[in-house]
Amino acid sequence: MDSIKQIYRIGHGPSSSHTIGPMRAANLFLTQVKGLANVAKFEVTLYGSLALTGKGHMTDRAIMSVLNPIHPTEVIFKEDVELAYHPNGMLFRALDTAGKELKTFTVYSIGGGVLANESFNEQTTNELYKLTHISDIIPVLQKYGMSYWEYVERCESPDIWDYLAEIWKVMKSAIKEGLETEGVLPGGLGLRRKASDYMIKAQSYTENLRARGQLYAYALAVSEQNAAGGLVVTAPTCGSCGVIPAVLYYLQETRGFTDTRILHALATAGLFGNVVRTNASISGAEVGCQGEVGVACSMAAAAASQLFGGTLRQIEYAAEMGLEHHLGLTCDPVCGLVQVPCIERNAFAASRALDSYMFANFTDGTHLVSFDRVVTVMNQTGKDLPSLYKETSLGGLATLTDIRNHLSNIDDFAKDEQHSKARGHSERKKRKSVGLC
Ligand code: SF4
Protein backbone atom coordinates (compact mmCIF):
# COMPACT_ATOMS: atom_id res chain seq x y z
CA MET A 1 0.00 0.00 0.00
CA ASP A 2 1.28 3.43 -0.96
CA SER A 3 1.88 6.48 1.24
CA ILE A 4 -1.03 8.32 2.84
CA LYS A 5 0.37 11.33 0.96
CA GLN A 6 -1.62 9.95 -1.98
CA ILE A 7 -4.79 10.55 0.03
CA TYR A 8 -3.92 14.10 1.06
CA ARG A 9 -2.89 16.22 -1.92
CA ILE A 10 -2.85 19.99 -2.05
CA GLY A 11 -4.38 21.42 -5.21
CA HIS A 12 -7.02 23.58 -6.75
CA GLY A 13 -10.65 22.50 -6.83
CA PRO A 14 -13.25 21.70 -7.80
CA SER A 15 -12.39 18.06 -8.48
CA SER A 16 -9.37 15.90 -7.77
CA SER A 17 -10.12 13.58 -10.67
CA HIS A 18 -11.30 16.37 -12.98
CA THR A 19 -8.85 19.18 -12.21
CA ILE A 20 -5.89 17.98 -10.12
CA GLY A 21 -5.47 14.70 -12.06
CA PRO A 22 -5.80 16.25 -15.54
CA MET A 23 -3.43 19.11 -14.60
CA ARG A 24 -0.86 16.58 -13.41
CA ALA A 25 -1.41 14.57 -16.61
CA ALA A 26 -0.85 17.70 -18.72
CA ASN A 27 2.40 18.40 -16.88
CA LEU A 28 3.49 14.79 -17.40
CA PHE A 29 2.74 15.11 -21.12
CA LEU A 30 4.86 18.28 -21.29
CA THR A 31 7.85 16.36 -19.93
CA GLN A 32 7.28 13.72 -22.65
CA VAL A 33 7.26 16.24 -25.50
CA LYS A 34 10.16 18.27 -24.14
CA GLY A 35 12.86 18.52 -26.79
CA LEU A 36 10.53 17.26 -29.51
CA ALA A 37 10.97 19.38 -32.67
CA ASN A 38 8.11 20.88 -34.70
CA VAL A 39 5.35 20.70 -32.08
CA ALA A 40 2.88 23.41 -33.07
CA LYS A 41 -0.26 22.55 -31.10
CA PHE A 42 -1.81 20.21 -28.60
CA GLU A 43 -5.12 18.40 -28.76
CA VAL A 44 -6.66 16.74 -25.71
CA THR A 45 -9.65 14.42 -25.92
CA LEU A 46 -11.69 13.70 -22.79
CA TYR A 47 -13.72 10.49 -22.64
CA GLY A 48 -16.60 9.10 -20.60
CA SER A 49 -17.22 10.68 -17.22
CA LEU A 50 -14.45 13.24 -17.72
CA ALA A 51 -16.22 14.44 -20.87
CA LEU A 52 -19.72 14.34 -19.40
CA THR A 53 -18.92 16.45 -16.35
CA GLY A 54 -15.67 18.01 -17.54
CA LYS A 55 -17.14 21.46 -18.28
CA GLY A 56 -18.82 21.82 -14.88
CA HIS A 57 -15.77 20.40 -13.15
CA MET A 58 -13.52 22.81 -15.12
CA THR A 59 -11.37 20.02 -16.63
CA ASP A 60 -10.84 21.93 -19.87
CA ARG A 61 -9.70 25.02 -17.97
CA ALA A 62 -7.33 22.96 -15.82
CA ILE A 63 -5.69 21.39 -18.88
CA MET A 64 -5.57 24.66 -20.82
CA SER A 65 -3.89 26.41 -17.88
CA VAL A 66 -0.92 24.03 -18.27
CA LEU A 67 -0.71 23.45 -22.04
CA ASN A 68 -2.04 26.59 -23.67
CA PRO A 69 0.82 28.85 -22.50
CA ILE A 70 3.21 26.46 -24.31
CA HIS A 71 1.26 25.78 -27.55
CA PRO A 72 -2.32 26.48 -28.68
CA THR A 73 -4.49 23.73 -27.23
CA GLU A 74 -7.87 22.35 -28.14
CA VAL A 75 -9.93 20.24 -25.72
CA ILE A 76 -12.44 17.84 -27.27
CA PHE A 77 -15.27 16.21 -25.30
CA LYS A 78 -16.27 12.67 -26.35
CA GLU A 79 -19.15 12.00 -23.99
CA ASP A 80 -20.33 8.87 -25.76
CA VAL A 81 -17.00 7.05 -25.71
CA GLU A 82 -15.75 5.34 -22.56
CA LEU A 83 -12.31 3.73 -22.63
CA ALA A 84 -12.05 0.25 -21.12
CA TYR A 85 -9.43 0.96 -18.45
CA HIS A 86 -11.33 3.62 -16.47
CA PRO A 87 -14.28 6.02 -17.02
CA ASN A 88 -11.99 9.07 -16.69
CA GLY A 89 -9.87 8.73 -19.85
CA MET A 90 -7.73 11.39 -21.55
CA LEU A 91 -5.78 11.33 -24.81
CA PHE A 92 -3.05 13.95 -25.22
CA ARG A 93 -1.71 14.59 -28.73
CA ALA A 94 1.15 16.78 -29.87
CA LEU A 95 0.76 17.86 -33.52
CA ASP A 96 2.85 19.77 -36.05
CA THR A 97 1.49 22.63 -38.17
CA ALA A 98 0.13 20.19 -40.78
CA GLY A 99 -1.70 18.23 -38.08
CA LYS A 100 0.74 15.29 -38.15
CA GLU A 101 0.79 13.38 -34.87
CA LEU A 102 4.18 13.60 -33.12
CA LYS A 103 3.39 12.16 -29.71
CA THR A 104 0.37 10.65 -27.97
CA PHE A 105 -0.29 9.81 -24.34
CA THR A 106 -3.38 8.06 -23.02
CA VAL A 107 -3.86 8.31 -19.29
CA TYR A 108 -6.64 7.97 -16.71
CA SER A 109 -7.50 10.07 -13.69
CA ILE A 110 -8.42 7.29 -11.28
CA GLY A 111 -9.45 9.35 -8.25
CA GLY A 112 -7.89 11.69 -5.70
CA GLY A 113 -5.68 13.24 -8.42
CA VAL A 114 -3.89 9.92 -9.04
CA LEU A 115 -2.94 8.84 -12.59
CA ALA A 116 -2.62 5.44 -14.21
CA ASN A 117 -2.65 3.69 -17.57
CA GLU A 118 -1.83 0.26 -18.94
CA SER A 119 1.90 0.69 -18.19
CA PHE A 120 2.01 2.61 -14.88
CA ASN A 121 -0.15 3.14 -11.84
CA GLU A 122 0.74 5.80 -9.27
CA GLN A 123 -1.42 3.99 -6.78
CA THR A 124 0.87 0.99 -6.57
CA THR A 125 4.30 2.47 -7.09
CA ASN A 126 5.50 2.69 -3.47
CA GLU A 127 4.73 -0.29 -1.28
CA LEU A 128 5.26 1.39 2.08
CA TYR A 129 2.64 -0.67 3.89
CA LYS A 130 2.87 -4.46 3.72
CA LEU A 131 -0.57 -4.88 5.27
CA THR A 132 -3.53 -3.59 3.30
CA HIS A 133 -6.49 -4.55 5.51
CA ILE A 134 -7.41 -3.15 8.91
CA SER A 135 -8.21 -6.70 10.08
CA ASP A 136 -4.56 -7.63 9.43
CA ILE A 137 -3.19 -4.42 10.95
CA ILE A 138 -5.08 -4.63 14.27
CA PRO A 139 -3.44 -7.90 15.53
CA VAL A 140 0.02 -6.42 14.82
CA LEU A 141 -0.84 -3.24 16.69
CA GLN A 142 -2.24 -5.25 19.59
CA LYS A 143 0.89 -7.38 19.73
CA TYR A 144 3.21 -4.35 19.97
CA GLY A 145 0.84 -2.07 21.89
CA MET A 146 0.85 0.46 19.07
CA SER A 147 -1.77 2.91 17.85
CA TYR A 148 -2.81 3.46 14.23
CA TRP A 149 -0.85 6.69 13.96
CA GLU A 150 2.29 5.03 15.33
CA TYR A 151 1.88 2.36 12.67
CA VAL A 152 1.68 5.11 10.04
CA GLU A 153 4.84 6.68 11.46
CA ARG A 154 6.64 3.33 11.25
CA CYS A 155 5.63 2.68 7.64
CA GLU A 156 6.14 6.20 6.25
CA SER A 157 9.37 8.19 6.22
CA PRO A 158 9.95 10.61 9.16
CA ASP A 159 8.94 13.55 6.97
CA ILE A 160 5.32 12.46 7.24
CA TRP A 161 4.72 14.86 10.16
CA ASP A 162 6.05 17.85 8.22
CA TYR A 163 3.89 16.79 5.31
CA LEU A 164 0.78 16.49 7.49
CA ALA A 165 1.58 19.82 9.16
CA GLU A 166 1.47 21.46 5.73
CA ILE A 167 -1.78 19.62 4.95
CA TRP A 168 -3.32 20.88 8.19
CA LYS A 169 -2.16 24.43 7.42
CA VAL A 170 -3.87 24.40 4.01
CA MET A 171 -7.03 22.87 5.49
CA LYS A 172 -7.25 25.64 8.09
CA SER A 173 -6.57 28.34 5.47
CA ALA A 174 -9.40 26.98 3.32
CA ILE A 175 -11.77 27.23 6.31
CA LYS A 176 -10.68 30.77 7.18
CA GLU A 177 -10.79 32.02 3.60
CA GLY A 178 -14.11 30.30 2.99
CA LEU A 179 -15.63 31.96 6.06
CA GLU A 180 -14.43 35.36 4.90
CA THR A 181 -15.72 35.08 1.34
CA GLU A 182 -19.25 35.92 0.27
CA GLY A 183 -21.06 36.06 -3.05
CA VAL A 184 -22.23 33.73 -5.80
CA LEU A 185 -20.27 30.64 -6.78
CA PRO A 186 -19.13 30.39 -10.39
CA GLY A 187 -20.89 28.04 -12.81
CA GLY A 188 -24.29 29.60 -13.45
CA LEU A 189 -26.48 27.93 -10.81
CA GLY A 190 -26.71 31.22 -8.96
CA LEU A 191 -25.75 29.45 -5.76
CA ARG A 192 -24.69 31.83 -3.00
CA ARG A 193 -21.98 30.92 -0.54
CA LYS A 194 -23.48 30.11 2.86
CA ALA A 195 -20.51 29.50 5.17
CA SER A 196 -20.18 33.02 6.57
CA ASP A 197 -23.95 33.29 7.20
CA TYR A 198 -23.94 30.00 9.07
CA MET A 199 -21.00 31.11 11.18
CA ILE A 200 -22.65 34.41 12.08
CA LYS A 201 -26.02 32.82 12.87
CA ALA A 202 -24.37 30.06 14.91
CA GLN A 203 -23.04 32.66 17.35
CA SER A 204 -26.54 33.67 18.38
CA TYR A 205 -27.55 30.18 19.53
CA THR A 206 -26.90 28.38 22.79
CA GLU A 207 -23.93 26.06 23.09
CA ASN A 208 -25.20 22.88 21.40
CA LEU A 209 -26.81 24.55 18.41
CA ARG A 210 -23.91 26.95 18.11
CA ALA A 211 -21.47 24.04 17.94
CA ARG A 212 -23.47 22.29 15.23
CA GLY A 213 -23.78 25.54 13.25
CA GLN A 214 -20.02 26.02 13.46
CA LEU A 215 -19.40 22.49 12.19
CA TYR A 216 -21.67 23.13 9.21
CA ALA A 217 -20.01 26.49 8.56
CA TYR A 218 -16.51 24.96 8.48
CA ALA A 219 -17.55 22.19 6.06
CA LEU A 220 -19.40 24.68 3.83
CA ALA A 221 -16.43 27.06 3.88
CA VAL A 222 -14.00 24.47 2.51
CA SER A 223 -16.44 23.00 -0.01
CA GLU A 224 -17.34 26.46 -1.28
CA GLN A 225 -13.67 27.29 -1.69
CA ASN A 226 -13.35 24.07 -3.66
CA ALA A 227 -16.34 24.89 -5.87
CA ALA A 228 -14.74 28.25 -6.64
CA GLY A 229 -11.44 26.64 -7.70
CA GLY A 230 -9.65 27.59 -4.46
CA LEU A 231 -6.72 25.80 -2.84
CA VAL A 232 -7.86 22.74 -0.87
CA VAL A 233 -6.63 19.34 0.25
CA THR A 234 -8.05 16.15 -1.21
CA ALA A 235 -9.41 14.23 1.77
CA PRO A 236 -9.76 11.86 0.06
CA THR A 237 -11.00 13.89 -2.96
CA CYS A 238 -11.79 17.51 -3.76
CA GLY A 239 -15.54 16.92 -3.83
CA SER A 240 -15.36 15.58 -0.29
CA CYS A 241 -12.65 17.94 0.95
CA GLY A 242 -14.82 19.73 3.53
CA VAL A 243 -15.55 16.85 5.90
CA ILE A 244 -12.23 16.14 7.63
CA PRO A 245 -11.10 19.78 8.02
CA ALA A 246 -14.53 20.67 9.45
CA VAL A 247 -14.48 17.87 12.04
CA LEU A 248 -10.86 18.44 13.10
CA TYR A 249 -11.09 22.22 13.21
CA TYR A 250 -14.34 22.03 15.14
CA LEU A 251 -12.78 19.65 17.68
CA GLN A 252 -9.68 21.81 18.01
CA GLU A 253 -11.72 24.98 18.46
CA THR A 254 -14.22 23.52 20.92
CA ARG A 255 -12.07 20.97 22.79
CA GLY A 256 -8.62 22.50 22.49
CA PHE A 257 -6.80 19.55 20.93
CA THR A 258 -3.19 20.43 20.14
CA ASP A 259 -1.83 20.47 16.59
CA THR A 260 0.22 17.37 17.39
CA ARG A 261 -2.90 15.40 18.31
CA ILE A 262 -4.65 16.70 15.19
CA LEU A 263 -1.75 15.48 13.03
CA HIS A 264 -1.93 12.07 14.69
CA ALA A 265 -5.66 12.00 13.94
CA LEU A 266 -4.95 12.95 10.31
CA ALA A 267 -2.49 10.06 10.09
CA THR A 268 -5.08 7.58 11.34
CA ALA A 269 -7.74 8.97 9.02
CA GLY A 270 -5.25 8.71 6.15
CA LEU A 271 -4.61 5.04 6.96
CA PHE A 272 -8.32 4.19 6.74
CA GLY A 273 -8.71 6.19 3.52
CA ASN A 274 -5.68 4.46 2.09
CA VAL A 275 -7.16 1.03 2.79
CA VAL A 276 -10.28 2.01 0.82
CA ARG A 277 -8.20 3.45 -1.99
CA THR A 278 -6.15 0.26 -2.20
CA ASN A 279 -8.92 -2.32 -1.92
CA ALA A 280 -11.80 -0.46 -3.54
CA SER A 281 -11.98 3.06 -4.95
CA ILE A 282 -12.32 6.69 -3.92
CA SER A 283 -13.45 7.75 -7.38
CA GLY A 284 -17.02 9.03 -7.82
CA ALA A 285 -16.79 7.94 -11.46
CA GLU A 286 -16.13 4.36 -10.36
CA VAL A 287 -18.24 3.87 -7.23
CA GLY A 288 -20.38 6.99 -6.81
CA CYS A 289 -20.34 9.43 -3.92
CA GLN A 290 -20.10 6.67 -1.31
CA GLY A 291 -16.41 6.47 -2.33
CA GLU A 292 -15.91 10.21 -1.89
CA VAL A 293 -18.11 11.73 0.81
CA GLY A 294 -18.75 8.28 2.36
CA VAL A 295 -15.03 7.65 2.71
CA ALA A 296 -14.37 11.18 3.98
CA CYS A 297 -16.99 10.60 6.68
CA SER A 298 -15.39 7.29 7.58
CA MET A 299 -11.93 8.86 7.85
CA ALA A 300 -13.22 11.77 9.93
CA ALA A 301 -15.06 9.37 12.26
CA ALA A 302 -11.85 7.41 12.84
CA ALA A 303 -9.95 10.64 13.54
CA ALA A 304 -12.58 11.87 16.00
CA SER A 305 -12.75 8.53 17.80
CA GLN A 306 -8.98 8.55 18.27
CA LEU A 307 -8.99 12.12 19.57
CA PHE A 308 -11.49 11.07 22.23
CA GLY A 309 -9.42 8.08 23.30
CA GLY A 310 -11.10 5.39 21.21
CA THR A 311 -9.51 1.93 21.30
CA LEU A 312 -8.30 0.22 18.13
CA ARG A 313 -11.66 -1.55 17.84
CA GLN A 314 -13.72 1.57 18.58
CA ILE A 315 -11.82 3.57 15.98
CA GLU A 316 -12.35 0.82 13.43
CA TYR A 317 -16.05 0.69 14.37
CA ALA A 318 -16.42 4.45 13.95
CA ALA A 319 -14.79 4.29 10.51
CA GLU A 320 -16.96 1.35 9.52
CA MET A 321 -20.15 3.21 10.43
CA GLY A 322 -19.10 6.35 8.62
CA LEU A 323 -18.93 4.30 5.44
CA GLU A 324 -21.75 1.81 6.08
CA HIS A 325 -24.30 4.56 6.44
CA HIS A 326 -23.29 6.08 3.13
CA LEU A 327 -23.57 2.84 1.14
CA GLY A 328 -25.26 3.35 -2.20
CA LEU A 329 -24.77 7.12 -2.20
CA THR A 330 -24.97 8.26 -5.79
CA CYS A 331 -22.95 10.90 -7.61
CA ASP A 332 -25.33 13.07 -9.63
CA PRO A 333 -23.99 16.64 -9.54
CA VAL A 334 -26.38 19.15 -11.07
CA CYS A 335 -25.01 20.48 -14.36
CA GLY A 336 -21.73 18.71 -13.63
CA LEU A 337 -20.81 21.33 -11.04
CA VAL A 338 -19.30 20.26 -7.71
CA GLN A 339 -21.98 22.25 -5.91
CA VAL A 340 -25.37 20.53 -5.65
CA PRO A 341 -25.52 18.15 -3.80
CA CYS A 342 -21.79 18.17 -3.01
CA ILE A 343 -21.41 21.24 -0.78
CA GLU A 344 -24.24 20.53 1.65
CA ARG A 345 -23.38 16.83 1.58
CA ASN A 346 -20.00 17.64 3.12
CA ALA A 347 -21.71 19.41 6.02
CA PHE A 348 -24.04 16.46 6.62
CA ALA A 349 -21.16 13.98 6.45
CA ALA A 350 -19.18 16.02 8.99
CA SER A 351 -22.14 15.79 11.32
CA ARG A 352 -22.53 12.06 10.69
CA ALA A 353 -18.81 11.52 11.36
CA LEU A 354 -19.29 12.93 14.87
CA ASP A 355 -22.33 10.68 15.36
CA SER A 356 -20.35 7.65 14.20
CA TYR A 357 -17.46 8.30 16.61
CA MET A 358 -19.85 8.91 19.54
CA PHE A 359 -21.84 5.79 18.76
CA ALA A 360 -18.67 3.69 18.57
CA ASN A 361 -17.06 5.15 21.68
CA PHE A 362 -20.17 4.26 23.72
CA THR A 363 -19.49 0.58 22.92
CA ASP A 364 -16.58 -1.73 23.69
CA GLY A 365 -15.83 -1.79 19.95
CA THR A 366 -17.52 -5.14 19.27
CA HIS A 367 -19.55 -5.12 16.07
CA LEU A 368 -20.67 -7.46 13.37
CA VAL A 369 -19.59 -5.90 10.07
CA SER A 370 -15.89 -5.11 9.94
CA PHE A 371 -14.44 -2.06 8.18
CA ASP A 372 -12.77 -4.27 5.56
CA ARG A 373 -16.04 -6.00 4.77
CA VAL A 374 -17.92 -2.74 4.35
CA VAL A 375 -15.18 -1.58 1.98
CA THR A 376 -15.75 -4.69 -0.13
CA VAL A 377 -19.51 -4.11 -0.05
CA MET A 378 -19.03 -0.46 -1.02
CA ASN A 379 -16.90 -1.49 -3.98
CA GLN A 380 -19.43 -4.05 -5.18
CA THR A 381 -22.31 -1.60 -4.67
CA GLY A 382 -20.37 0.89 -6.77
CA LYS A 383 -19.92 -1.66 -9.54
CA ASP A 384 -23.66 -2.47 -9.39
CA LEU A 385 -24.67 1.20 -9.66
CA PRO A 386 -25.64 2.21 -13.20
CA SER A 387 -23.23 4.69 -14.77
CA LEU A 388 -26.06 7.27 -14.54
CA TYR A 389 -25.08 7.68 -10.89
CA LYS A 390 -21.31 7.77 -11.26
CA GLU A 391 -20.24 11.33 -12.06
CA THR A 392 -21.92 11.45 -15.45
CA SER A 393 -24.65 13.95 -14.51
CA LEU A 394 -27.14 11.82 -16.45
CA GLY A 395 -29.28 10.63 -13.55
CA GLY A 396 -30.77 11.59 -10.19
CA LEU A 397 -30.62 15.23 -9.10
CA ALA A 398 -28.79 16.14 -12.29
CA THR A 399 -31.94 15.45 -14.30
CA LEU A 400 -34.17 17.92 -12.43
CA THR A 401 -35.23 20.04 -15.34
CA ASP A 402 -36.39 23.05 -13.30
CA ILE A 403 -32.85 23.42 -11.96
CA ARG A 404 -31.44 23.09 -15.46
CA ASN A 405 -33.93 25.75 -16.57
CA HIS A 406 -32.78 27.90 -13.69
CA LEU A 407 -29.30 27.66 -15.19
CA SER A 408 -30.58 28.93 -18.51
CA ASN A 409 -32.36 31.76 -16.66
CA ILE A 410 -29.02 32.73 -15.18
CA ASP A 411 -27.60 32.76 -18.69
CA ASP A 412 -30.54 34.92 -19.77
CA PHE A 413 -29.80 37.24 -16.87
CA ALA A 414 -26.21 37.56 -18.07
CA LYS A 415 -27.49 38.30 -21.57
CA ASP A 416 -29.99 40.81 -20.17
CA GLU A 417 -27.19 42.46 -18.25
CA GLN A 418 -25.07 42.74 -21.38
CA HIS A 419 -28.08 43.98 -23.29
CA SER A 420 -28.93 46.63 -20.70
CA LYS A 421 -25.27 47.65 -20.45
CA ALA A 422 -25.19 48.05 -24.23
CA ARG A 423 -28.51 49.94 -24.07
CA GLY A 424 -27.15 52.15 -21.27
CA HIS A 425 -24.04 52.76 -23.31
CA SER A 426 -26.00 53.89 -26.37
CA GLU A 427 -28.35 55.97 -24.14
CA ARG A 428 -25.31 57.71 -22.64
CA LYS A 429 -23.91 58.26 -26.13
CA LYS A 430 -27.23 59.76 -27.18
CA ARG A 431 -27.37 61.95 -24.07
CA LYS A 432 -23.77 63.04 -24.62
CA SER A 433 -24.57 63.99 -28.16
CA VAL A 434 -27.39 66.23 -26.91
CA GLY A 435 -25.31 67.54 -23.98
CA LEU A 436 -27.18 65.80 -21.11
CA CYS A 437 -24.17 64.16 -19.41
S1 SF4 B 1 -21.90 14.05 -5.73
FE2 SF4 B 1 -20.18 13.35 -4.44
S3 SF4 B 1 -18.85 12.17 -5.81
FE4 SF4 B 1 -20.22 13.38 -7.08
S5 SF4 B 1 -19.09 15.27 -7.58
FE6 SF4 B 1 -20.33 15.66 -5.74
S7 SF4 B 1 -18.99 15.21 -4.01
FE8 SF4 B 1 -18.03 14.26 -5.82
- Residue 293 beta carbon below 6 angstroms from any ligand 1 atom: yes
pLDDT at 167: 98
Spatial contact of 90 and 117, defined as CB atoms under 8 Å apart: no
- Which of 391, 393, 397, 399 should be mutated for ligand 1, with most atoms under 8 A from CB? 391
Atom 1, ligand 1: which residue's CA is nearest? 331
pLDDT at 1: 92
Question: Measured in angstroms, how far is the CA atom of residue 15 from the centroid of ligand 1?
Answer: 9
Positions in the chain whose pLDDT score sits under 50: 427-437
Global model pTM greater than 0.85: yes
pLDDT at 419: 61
Q: Which SS3 state, helix, strand or coil, does residue 380 take? A: helix
417, burial (CB in 10 Å: exposed 0-12, middle 13-18, buried 19+): exposed
Question: Measured in angstroms, how far is the CA atom of residue 285 from the centroid of ligand 1?
Answer: 9
Question: Measured in angstroms, how far is the CA atom of residue 329 from the centroid of ligand 1?
Answer: 9
Question: Measured in angstroms, how far is the CA atom of residue 239 from the centroid of ligand 1?
Answer: 5
Spatial contact of 337 and 57, defined as CB atoms under 8 Å apart: yes
CB neighbours of 18 closer than 8 A, spacing ≥ 6? 50, 53, 54, 57, 58, 59, 62, 88, 109
Q: Model confidence over 308-352: pLDDT tens digits?
A: 999 999 999 999 999 999 999 999 999 889 999 999 999 999 999
- Which of 52, 283, 338 should be mutated for ligand 1, with most atoms under 8 A from CB? 338
Spatial contact of 379 and 281, defined as CB atoms under 8 Å apart: yes
Atom 4, ligand 1: which residue's CA is nearest? 331
